[in-house]
């Protein structure tokens, strides 16, 4: 397994593989890996085959964090990550520095000034709560696509809206990349795996399962009545979330999974997505009902 930090070196390696007709799979991450990430790596291996190559990027992208968010505290452990990826048979770990990805971001005429903006799918949910987030995500993913030159890129369903936005970017900007969305991996108690779960100490870890419990409650309610008024189910989910002493609902939305358009009535096949603060830790989850 190679570790590459230079953009030029990564592009050179990708072009070498392309000339040899060998497929490339990319798994973009911000590191502090867990089993959810490793499931994406295994999916990438499956998609490129035994003669293909899997690249995992580890980069905590500053442009997708607002100034009030946890960029400086985001968990990092490169040594641990490299060991896990080596055991998974990854070919290359791409670990660029900010100075390469965003040279001179200071507000001067010669500084970095090009960003990718998706204007429709990114406006609700995460986009409404974190207004600069998706501009950072689409920009860094577009850069990674140009650097790694993948045939396939694998993302997790836990970040459902993110995957939809990236798919739209790929379609609209004609990237020759197939986007694969792999299932959410959960702990035994139902909590979706996330690097931010590290923040959950003491009883906060138990309280965090309220996200999955709220999804299960919505599914059970739909099973009973087949159609439920939106306002009623939103109110029920909100009340359930805030029954935990340290949990606070940021949003809960019900929407069409293909268009991300909110629905007026809850029926089978609708997607639920929610964001919840548990203590100071903001967690997200989603599932199809």
The residues carrying an active-site annotation are 37
DSSP structural state of residue 5: -
Query: How many Å apart are CA 227 and CA 223, to the nearest integer?
Result: 9
Nearest to 137 by CA among 59, 250, 253, 31: 59
Contacts of 89 (CB under 8 A, 6+ apart): 45, 54
Query: Quick check: helix, strand or coil at residue 250?
Result: strand
- Give start and end residues of each alpha helix (H) in 110-226: 126-129, 133-148, 160-173, 203-207, 210-225
Contacts of 267 (CB under 8 A, 6+ apart): 222, 226, 227
- Give start and end residues of each alpha helix (H) in the chain: 7-19, 35-48, 78-87, 98-101, 126-129, 133-148, 160-173, 203-207, 210-225, 230-241
The answer to whether 43 touches 182, Cβ cutoff 8 Å, is: yes
Query: Quick check: helix, strand or coil at residue 223?
Result: helix
Tell how strand 92-94 and strand 152-156 pair up. unpaired
């Amino acid at each position: 397994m190679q570790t590459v930090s230079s953009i030029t070196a990564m592009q050179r390696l990708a072009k070498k593989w392309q000339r040899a007709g060998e497929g490339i799979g990319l798994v973009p991450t911000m590191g502090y890996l867990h089993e959810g990430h490793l499931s994406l790596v295994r999916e990438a291996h499956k998609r490129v085959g035994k003669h293909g190559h899997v690249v995992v990027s580890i980069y905590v992208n500053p442009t997708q964090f607002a100034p009030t968010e946890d960029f400086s505290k985001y968990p990092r452990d490169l040594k641990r990550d490299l060991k896990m990826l080596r055991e998974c048979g990854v070919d290359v770990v791409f670990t660029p520095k900010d100075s390469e990805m965003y040279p001179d971001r200071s507000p001067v005429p010669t500084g970095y000034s090009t960003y990718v903006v998706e204007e429709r799918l990114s406006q609700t949910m995460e986009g409404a709560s974190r207004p600069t987030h998706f501009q950072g995500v689409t920009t860094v993913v577009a850069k990674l696509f140009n650097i790694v030159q993948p045939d396939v890129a694998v993302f997790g369903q836990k970040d459902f809206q993110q995957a939809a936005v990236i798919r739209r970017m790929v379609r609209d900007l004609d990237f020759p990349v197939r986007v694969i969305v792999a299932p959410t991996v959960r702990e035994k108690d139902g909590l979706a795996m996330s690097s931010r779960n590290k923040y959950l100490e003491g009883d906060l870890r138990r309280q965090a399962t309220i996200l999955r419990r709220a999804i299960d409650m919505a599914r059970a309610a739909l099973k009973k009545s087949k159609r439920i008024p939106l306002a009623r189910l939103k109110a029920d989910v909100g009340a359930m979330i805030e029954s935990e002493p340290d949990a606070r609902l940021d949003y809960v939305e019900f929407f069409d999974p293909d268009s991300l358009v909110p629905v007026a009535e809850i029926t089978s096949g609708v997607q639920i997505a929610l964001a919840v603060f548990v203590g100071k830790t903001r967690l997200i989850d989603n599932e199809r009902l």
